[in-house]
Amino acid sequence: MRVEVKREDPARARTDALIVPLSKTERVPRALQALDTALGRRIQSYLEAAEFRGKAAELVAFPAEGIAAKTVILVGLGTEEELNAEALRRAAGAGIKAAARRRAASVALVVPSVRRLAPADRAQALTEGGLLGAYRFDRYRELEEPRGALDELVLLSADAREGSALRRGVKQGRIAAESARLARDLSNEPGSVHTPEWMADQARKLGREVGLKVKVLAERELEREKMQGILSVGRGSANPPRLIVLEYNAPAGGARRRPTLALVGKGITFDSGGISIKPAANMHEMKHDMSGGAAVFGALRGAALLGLPQHVIGIVPVAQNMPGAGAYLPGDIVRAASGKTIEVLNTDAEGRIVLADALHHAQRFKPDAIVDLATLTGACVIALGSACCAVMGNNEPLIKRVQAAGDRSHERAWPLPLWDEHKKQIKGDVGDIKNTGGREAGASTAAAFLSHFVGATPWAHLDIAGTAWTTREQPYCVKGATGFGVRLLLELLRDWSAL
Ligand code: BES
Ligand code: MN
Ligand code: ZN
């Protein structure tokens, strides 16, 4: 979709749907009075009749008469005090969904003036909400009448001084949202489609499109690298595992050493549980167990298109966890690439085993920091639900930074402990470490497991099991994959400085 900024009177905007965000109010704000007059005071009468009051997520649509647009969509922002970037994302998402339901091909959105938010941040939030709200995974739909393809979003601002800042925000928002849409697309594909080799193909394609170096380790290379973690987990499947490495390097220039950041994403392309097989209910959702990897693909795409001033490595171990004839077994002892041995008590705790090899591999690049994202534990979903992911790690400043980036993107992260107690809980009986520590503190013991493979590198682990998938429609999400983590990572990278 094209996104543009125009300095135009909303009454003159030739568009299928004019989206007008409004804070909670009883009176049409000054900036919209000319528009309301052209509309025959229609907005004011809605407010007076309390048909629309500007409450968050409130929506009213009516055929436009007296202006150039075909339809007007009023969308509530909530109270002025609550007004922040997330309110703008939600309003833009809800507005654009309403426009899409009306089969709009073009949409214009009035940029509200929000004193607390710089113009670039406003434009970024509106663009993110709009583009993510317009997302649907409909490539397999044949029966439903196709929706008109929404192909143009115009941000309208009367303030000439804001123009260039708004354009900057649009660029950032477009790249972030489109990268999150890529992550959603990857995760929403069925497990039988997004196999490890398919994921590798997508990485190669992405590399060609945006300029990333892509390396794929197939079985022979995995053997050579002694990555028995990835190989063991992949052994029960007819679709062999891979390790995908994506590399973005900032354009040369400047004498300063570019920081190197490693992003590692769990890429279990389907998690049946393996021999420790999962119950049937909701097992289909486990096609999205590669969402950490998808977020890493999205972040690398974004880093390249934004031309960020860093060296970013994306490492995605991809494997299908299946109970096939060659499957690894409960009781197996697997030697990870680092040399440490893992006692497999439960083949369903597979994510940490593939991540062990991937995190170890990350150290080869001598990164300043490692951030991993993984749909790792059901325990995290129980602890924190779907409103935030969990963050754990070995470096407080890094954890704080992840939280701050999460707040800015509203992909929020909340800390859980990672203490010696948790490390003790997974001490092996016959090997070095067990792959589960029982039901207590499941998210923390999973993180404790990972901590064995990051050496002394500053590291943060994001357990996104509760946030990568949604079973509820939300203002800028549909049911299915959310693309969670892409925007958080881009915010984290954007203002990176030495830890
Ligand atoms: N992929 C799952 C975790 C998961 C659960 C992701 C719900 C998304 C939503 C992971 O591989 C898993 O099966 N974890 C087990 C670990 C246990 C066996 C120690 C779990 O959490 O039950
Ligand atoms: Mn599992
Ligand atoms: Zn899993």
Q: If you write DSSP's letter for every residue of 21-50 in order, what string do you get?
A: EE-S-SS--GGGHHHHHHTTSHHHHHHHTT
The residue behind tokens 């001598």 is: 366
Res. 57 pLDDT band, cuts 50 70 90? confident
With CA atoms as reference, report the closest residue to 487 among 418, 399, 413: 413
Residue whose CA lies nearest to ligand 1 atom number 7:
378
Distance 268 CA to ligand 3 centre (A): 6
| Active-site choice (70, 171, 278, 335) | 278
pLDDT for the residue numbered 467: 98
Question: Which atom of ligand 1 lies at the shortest distance from residue 278's CA?
Answer: 13
Locate the DSSP E strands across 453-492.
459-463, 469-470, 480-481
Residue 256 has pLDDT above 80, yes or no: no
Exposure string for 78-91, b = 16+ CB within 10 A, e = fewer: beeeebbbbbbbbb
Query: What is the pLDDT averaged over residues 194-201?
Result: 98
Chain region(s) in the chain for CATH 3.40.220.10: 2-157
Q: Rounded to an integer, what distance in angstroms lies between the CA atom of residue 488 and that of residue 499?
A: 18
**Which one of the ligands is nearest to 465 CA?**
1
Residue 52 has pLDDT above 70, yes or no: yes
Q: Rounded to an integer, what distance in angstroms lies between the CA atom of residue 365 and that of residue 429?
A: 33
With CA atoms as reference, report the closest residue to 176 among 496, 499, 493: 493
**CATH code for the domain defined by 177-494:** 3.40.630.10
- Residue range 233-247, pLDDT digits in tens: 999 999 999 999 999
Query: What is the pLDDT averaged over residues 215-227?
Result: 98
Active-site residue 70, yes or no?
no
Query: What is the pLDDT averaged over residues 440-459?
Result: 98
Residue 386 has pLDDT above 80, yes or no: yes
Query: What is the average pLDDT value for the chain, to the nearest integer?
Result: 96
Residue whose CA lies nearest to ligand 1 atom number 22:
378
Residue 255 has pLDDT above 80, yes or no: no
- Residue range 101-141, pLDDT digits in tens: 999 999 999 999 888 999 999 999 999 999 999 999 999 98
With CA atoms as reference, report the closest residue to 262 among 404, 397, 457, 485: 457
* CA 474 from centre of chain: 14
pLDDT for the residue numbered 146: 67
- Residue range 150-186, pLDDT digits in tens: 999 999 998 889 999 999 999 999 999 999 999 999 9
Residue whose CA lies nearest to ligand 1 atom number 13:
348
Exposure string for 455-476, b = 16+ CB within 10 A, e = fewer: eebbbbbbbbbbbbbbeeebbb
| Active-site choice (352, 401, 423, 487) | 352
Q: What value, to the nearest 5°, has the Cα angle with vertex 485 and ends 479 and 491?
A: 135
Give the DSSP H or E segment for 451.
helix 442-451
Q: Look up the CATH superfamily of 2-157.
A: Leucine Aminopeptidase, subunit E, domain 1 (3.40.220.10)
Residue 298 has pLDDT above 80, yes or no: yes
Query: Torsions phi, psi of 29, nearest 5?
Result: -65, 155
Distance 242 CA to ligand 1 centre (A): 21
The residue behind tokens 């992840």 is: 402
Residue 305 has pLDDT above 90, yes or no: yes
Pair 455, 361: CB distance under 8 Å: no
Provide the percentage of residues in the chain whose pLDDT is more than 70. 99
Active-site residue 213, yes or no?
no
**Which one of the ligands is nearest to 380 CA?**
1
More confident residue, 487 or 495: 487
Tokens standing for 122?
């406003």
pLDDT for the residue numbered 257: 80
Residue whose CA lies nearest to ligand 1 atom number 5:
378
How far apart, in Å, are the Cα atoms of 59 and each of 21, 45, 111?
A: 9, 15, 17
pLDDT for the residue numbered 251: 84
Res. 332 pLDDT band, cuts 50 70 90? very high
Chain region(s) in the chain for CATH 3.40.630.10: 177-494
Res. 254 pLDDT band, cuts 50 70 90? low
pLDDT for the residue numbered 371: 99
Distance 471 CA to ligand 3 centre (A): 18
pLDDT for the residue numbered 74: 98
pLDDT for the residue numbered 29: 94
Question: Which atom of ligand 1 lies at the shortest distance from residue 445's CA?
Answer: 19
- Residue range 272-288, pLDDT digits in tens: 999 999 999 999 999 99
Ligand 1 site residues (CB inside 6 A) read: 271, 289, 346, 348-351, 375-379, 381, 436, 442, 465
- Residue range 336-358, pLDDT digits in tens: 999 999 999 999 999 999 999 99
Report helix, strand or coil for 480.
strand
Residue whose CA lies nearest to ligand 1 atom number 14:
377
- Give the number of C-alpha atoms closer than 13 A to the C-alpha of residue 336, restricted to the C-beta side: 27
With CA atoms as reference, report the closest residue to 274 among 219, 359, 344, 221: 344
Distance 491 CA to ligand 3 centre (A): 26
pLDDT for the residue numbered 82: 86
Give the contacts of 459 (CB within 8 A, at least 6 positions apart): 359, 369, 370, 371, 372, 393, 394, 395, 398, 450, 451
* Residues with Cβ–ion distance below 5 A, ligand 2: 271, 348, 350
Res. 252 pLDDT band, cuts 50 70 90? confident
Pair 422, 437: CB distance under 8 Å: yes
